[in-house]
Structure 1
Amino acid sequence: MPSPPASPPGPAALRVSPGGLCLMDEAVSVSVSGLAPFSEVAVRASLEDEGGVLFQSWAWFRAGARGELELGRAPSLGGSYLGREAMGLLWALRPPPEQPRRRLAKRDVGRPFGVAFEVFQGREPRGTPLCRALSPRGFMAPGLRRLPVREGRLRATLFLPPGPGPFPGLLDLYGSGGGLVEYRASLLASRGYVTLALAYLAFEDLPSFPDVIELDYFGEAVEFLKKQEQVQSTRIGVIGLSKGADIALALATFWPGIQAAVSISGSGVNSFIPLKVKDLTIPPHPFDLSKSKVTGDSELVDYSEILDDPRDPATWQCRIPVEKSLSKFLFLSGEDDRNWPSQQFCREAVRRLQESGRHVEFYCYPGAGHLLEPPYLPLCTASFHKIFGVFVLWGGKLKEHAKAQEDAWQRILAFFKQHLQDPPVKCNL
């Protein structure tokens, strides 16, 4: 008896699950129904940043026998990435060709990005889409409060989770690019930490290149955190990226009351600007700008070879003596870091901690660059450094960097949970 004819496909429909607002670090499932069996379709993702610049990615797929398609199960056969990658369209987002070094960053964390998914007939995203859906991706969980802080010298933003707490406190520091960066802090606060995003360079009245950086400024931020009613003052952590990572290590070493410190793409030495710690001044690690390289179209600057070897005894006075600290440490770096050799430098700091019997975890990711951000933010291999006034090379390979960001974020959350939330704190998220 012959098989009955296949039912004609219905109107194509695109579904993003979970629907509604998701945090930027949360995975979603994208599926399409109502396609012709085994048909070829292209799926495009796009979002506009806060400057109106359009980031896009796309991939083409072959639908199943029932005209269905799920991006996490069906492999991309071409486009911005290849293979089975449920979140590939997000981490593969790219700026337009005329602005190839545009970095996707979030300045107003109170407003989510709107990611549009569209489905097209054929192998390229051309013509009128068969269907589309909008997925808002935010940085603040419901009920999270954002409070600007201008107390004494402090230039910061405080994020308070909903509920009475008490919650552990986190200090969040970004790198030498300066400004007040809030998006990682708001995501951490969304996971149940009172988080203070602290500016220390090139923001309001803060200079871009001070003659000296005073650790007391960061200590004041720690004490401010401890005074908050919702903060469990005996459970304080610090996280930093790049230059901010080195300051995070210095805080954990010299300032009392830091239980856990995360260094992302740090160096373990004091870099570029003298660091004043009470009556001690740690000089900057020796560097030679003549060793910087101009690459590509003569605009990109590669600084990865300007720092002297950290194993040279002549540089040891520039080390941050982390081995003297009682804090717990997590080091994260990428093997394709083109800003500085964070892998080599971190290994030296980790070795000293291990020899002193301290708790330290270290993960170095093949193919990952310098800017290890929260997951699903796209790779930025180079961007304009407003303080240096040049385009700086960061490094990283697309898929490897994306996988590193996913893994690193989970390790950060697990590390802080283990050392700051044991036993778990009450959180009404």
Structure 2
Amino acid sequence: MAATLRVEPAGRCCWDTPVRISVRGLAPGQPVTLRASLRDERGARFRAHARYRADARGELDLARAPALGGSFAGLEPMGLLWALEPEAACQAWEPRDGEGSFPGIIDLFGSGGGLCEYRASLLAGHGFSVLALAYFRFEDLPEYLHDMHLEYFEEAVNFMLQHPKVKGPSIGLLGFSKGGDLCLSMASFLKGITATVVINSCVANTIVPLHYKDMVIPNLHSDPGRHKITEAGILSYMDVWDNPLEARNHQSLIPLEKAQGPFLFIVGLDDRSWRSNFYAQIASERLQAHGKERPQIICYPGTGHCIDPPYFPPSRASVHAVLGTAVIYGGEPSAHSRAQVDAWQQIQTFFHKHLNGKKSVKRSKI
């Protein structure tokens, strides 16, 4: 009997949905190598492989059989997806299956710029109306980050609050890296925001000054000369940034105590771009010093800077879209992948609780 590969659920499904992979019709104890590949929207190919051994019945089920080697090892049912690695060489999303209105979220990415829609599209599949918002390097927006104006983001908030598919009276914010400190500023100065999630972000305004009406928040001081180079020749920028608590940086700190709603900080403890855990603790101490609720902080060991939805291959290093050079982000592949699964659930639970009135049903397992 010829060997047959089965993937369940069959057909198309969202990237954050686990799939079950099995093989039947093998010889008992037969060595097997499974390979996965895909091309992204730019045509770049990603590959992963793992070696297994069939059981006594000639079957292989990745939910029960540990990988013996390859791109990963051990019991990792989704390893062929999260282990994918590259070969050498403003969009609004609405729930697909519902009438009426849904909790609204604005989604911001980091200093690479452009319009990133994959996270927004996946959240839309979980009952949210999401606006993926670019703020430079897209269409008629500036090519590079210069002085930024919070009024641009205020327009996006008002757009969402008035949208017929958005369930008011408020919305949530989700930001990663530079997009995270922008979300903190939006939550602190703009109305109509009652839930904010930031992923590996700073508590000070970074990179460029931020303007709002007659106010200017200077950017956190930095010294590019403090960068380090790994043994592999990849740049590490973590030491470039000044300590936000130093006197000359006090004006760059974002006044989180002005925000109307709670915060969730997602922190990778192996973040090689920012001192994200330190920044989250600064936020917690500042909020409590002003008599505000302590933020929820979830820390993930072995997890780097780029925390994506489940089963996305961990981005441990890549050529930065603006800097044009390879930058290290950190993270151990297996731990980082597990963190992405848990963080994705935590983000949805937080937003459902604070935007939709649903109680939290799961605590972090990590």
Pick the aligned partner of 2:240 from 306, 309, 318: 306
Task: Name the counterpart of 1:168.
Answer: 103
Q: Deviations over 1:337-357 (max 9, x none)?
A: 111211211221122223433
Separation in 1, partners of 2:227, 2:355: 40
Separation in 1, partners of 2:358, 2:124: 18
Q: Which has the larger radius of gyration?
A: 1
Residues 323, 358 of structure 1: 8 Å contact kept: no
The answer to whether the aligner puts 1:346 opposite 2:280 as a matched pair is: yes
Q: Deviations over 1:151-177 (max 9, x none)?
A: xxxxx1111224322111110100111
Separation in 2, partners of 1:257, 1:167: 15
Task: Name the counterpart of 2:251.
Answer: 317
Task: Name the counterpart of 2:207.
Answer: 272
Separation in 1, partners of 2:339, 2:212: 34
Task: Name the counterpart of 2:320.
Answer: 385
Pick the aligned partner of 2:164 from 229, 247, 252: 229
Task: Name the counterpart of 2:115.
Answer: 180
| Aligned-residue CA RMSD (Å) | 1.5
| Equivalence map 1:82-161=2 (5 Å) | 82-96=73-87, 98-99=88-89, 156-161=90-95
Residues 253, 327 of structure 1: 8 Å contact kept: no
Q: Deviations over 1:58-98 (max 9, x none)?
A: 111121111111101111111111111110111011112x2
Task: Name the counterpart of 1:328.
Answer: 262
TM-score normalised to the size of structure 1? Answer: 0.80
Helix, strand or coil for the counterpart of 2:335?
helix
Q: Which protein is richer in helix relative to its size? A: 2
Residues 326, 358 of structure 1: 8 Å contact kept: no
Separation in 2, partners of 1:406, 1:252: 26
Task: Name the counterpart of 2:49.
Answer: 58
Residues 30, 72 of structure 1: 8 Å contact kept: yes
Pick the aligned partner of 2:147 from 212, 218, 228: 212
State the Cα distance separating 1:210 from its structure 2 match. Answer: 4.2
| Equivalence map 1:395-406=2 (5 Å) | 395-406=330-341
State the Cα distance separating 1:423 from its structure 2 match. Answer: 5.2
Residues 284, 294 of structure 2: 8 Å contact kept: no
TM-score normalised to the size of structure 2? Answer: 0.94
The answer to whether the aligner puts 1:12 opposite 2:7 as a matched pair is: no
Separation in 2, partners of 1:393, 1:84: 27
Q: Which amino acid aligns with 1:226?
A: L
Helix, strand or coil for the counterpart of 1:172?
strand
Separation in 2, partners of 1:50, 1:283: 37
The alpha-carbon distance between structure 1 residues 297 and 60, as it changes in their structure 2 partners (threshold 3 A), is closer
Pick the aligned partner of 1:394 from 329, 332, 340: 329
Residues 254, 325 of structure 1: 8 Å contact kept: yes
Q: Deviations over 1:199-239 (max 9, x none)?
A: 10111221133431111110100100111112112131010
State the Cα distance separating 1:319 from its structure 2 match. Answer: 0.6
Separation in 2, partners of 1:329, 1:353: 10
Q: Which amino acid aligns with 2:5?
A: L
Residues 169, 231 of structure 1: 8 Å contact kept: yes
State the Cα distance separating 1:297 from its structure 2 match. Answer: 4.7
Task: Name the counterpart of 2:15.
Answer: 24
The count of corresponding residues between Structure 1 and Structure 2 is: 357
Q: Deviations over 1:252-287 (max 9, x none)?
A: 111111010000110111001001122211101111
Q: Percent identity?
A: 46
Helix, strand or coil for the counterpart of 2:250?
helix
Q: Which amino acid aligns with 1:334?
A: G
Structure 1, unaligned runs of 5 or more: 1-9, 100-155, 425-429
Q: Which amino acid aligns with 1:199?
A: A
